[in-house]
Amino acid sequence: MWNSTNIHGFILLGLTDDPLLKNLLFVLFFLSYVVTLFANTGIILIIQTSPHLHIPMYFFLKNLSFLDLCYSSIITPRTLAGFLSVTNIITYIECALQMYLFGASVTTECFLLGIMAYDRYVAICNPLLYLMLMNNRVCMQLVGAAYIGGYVNAAIHTTCTFQLPFCKSNKIDHFYCDVPPLLKLSCTDTMMNELVMFIFGGFAEMSSLITITVSYSYIISTILRIQSQQGRKKAFSTCASHLLVVTIFYGTIVFMYLRPTSSYAMKQDRIASVFYTVIIPMLNPLIYSFRNKEVGRALVKICVKC
């Protein structure tokens, strides 16, 4: 038996104990993180320095890139350090802070993806009222609400988790501090924590998913009524990148969190966690860059000026 009051931190078991595999993973994680940094920073700078991209759609995309940059930076550098250390120790406070900041960033991104779907609905279904309905003030309020919701939700999860007594072990079977592996270390009944995670996490995801589903129902209905094939193709192309990002992001998050703790298989969860902490932040800017002609043109103009 181990008591959390007798020690200052946890041991992160990481992804593997094999030294060769650790070196390989270090290289892969490092390269992914470099691409993530450059791609997301590039999106932010392109939108910021291109006046013709100062519209709601790209304002939300800039915030999406910022969030990808944030939660990748919360996890990946610490994971890289863990690959190089013999005993990957994380202090109690560091663990709580990592859980809080990561949860806040991911939940905010959930809300932001819902807001981006609503933005596309207004742009396609009410184009004449778009600039009036999605003015700067409204956009700032929507993004501000997403951040507030994300940080409040993360505070609830982190507070509930770290009120538990951890007496089974100080070894976290994961490569970062997350709610499910920490619940497994508690020697008390965690059903209330699971219920809180399901209710508040489910609200964040389901409210965004409902917004996305309803928005795209109207969008698809409107697109199908467009007479010209070129018009339908152009309308759908503005939504394709967002749909792809939503599918990848929500598919992984639902698999990770909206199921009972008893059904968690840590090996599968670690693989899923790698996907949405390392791969998704790298893929999102690439998806938007390759599928969005305006971003591509802006990048070419910046390169020519330089």
Least confident of 100-104, 240-244, 289-293: 289-293
Does the pLDDT value for residue 204 go beyond 50?
yes
Among residues 294, 202, 301, which one has the least CA distance to residue 256?
202
Least confident of 162-171, 244-253, 262-271: 262-271
Q: Both tokens of residue 175? A: 């490569």
- pLDDT tens for 4-41 read 444 568 999 888 888 899 999 999 999 999 999 999 99
Q: What's residue 6's pLDDT? A: 45
- As a whole number of angstroms, the distance between CA 302 and CA 84 comes to 38
Domain definitions of the chain by residue range = 4-305
Percent of the chain scored above 90 by pLDDT?
A: 37
Does the pLDDT value for residue 290 go beyond 90?
no
- As a whole number of angstroms, the distance between CA 169 and CA 117 comes to 43
**What is the pLDDT averaged over residues 97-109?**
94
Per the prediction, the chain carries an average pLDDT of 85
Pairwise pLDDT comparison (234 vs 13), residue with the higher score: 13
Q: What's residue 302's pLDDT? A: 66
Q: Both tokens of residue 79? A: 């994971």
**What is the pLDDT averaged over residues 84-92?**
86
Among residues 55, 69, 140, 67, which one has the least CA distance to residue 110?
67
CB 78 within 8 A of CB 30: no
| CA R_g for the chain | 21
Does the pLDDT value for residue 118 go beyond 70?
yes
Three-state DSSP at 91 gives strand
CATH of domain 4-305: 1.20.1070.10
- pLDDT tens for 122-154 read 998 888 889 889 999 999 999 999 999 999 999
pTM: 0.88
Q: Both tokens of residue 21? A: 């595999």
**What is the pLDDT averaged over residues 108-119?**
93
- pLDDT tens for 173-202 read 889 998 888 888 888 888 888 888 888 878
Q: What's residue 27's pLDDT? A: 95
Question: Is 89 exposed, middle or buried (CB count within 10 Å of its CB: 0-12, 13-18, 19+)?
Answer: middle
Three-state DSSP at 55 gives coil
Pairwise pLDDT comparison (215 vs 16), residue with the higher score: 215
**In this structure, are strands 9-12 and 171-172 parallel, antiparallel, or unpaired?**
parallel
CB 36 within 8 A of CB 30: no
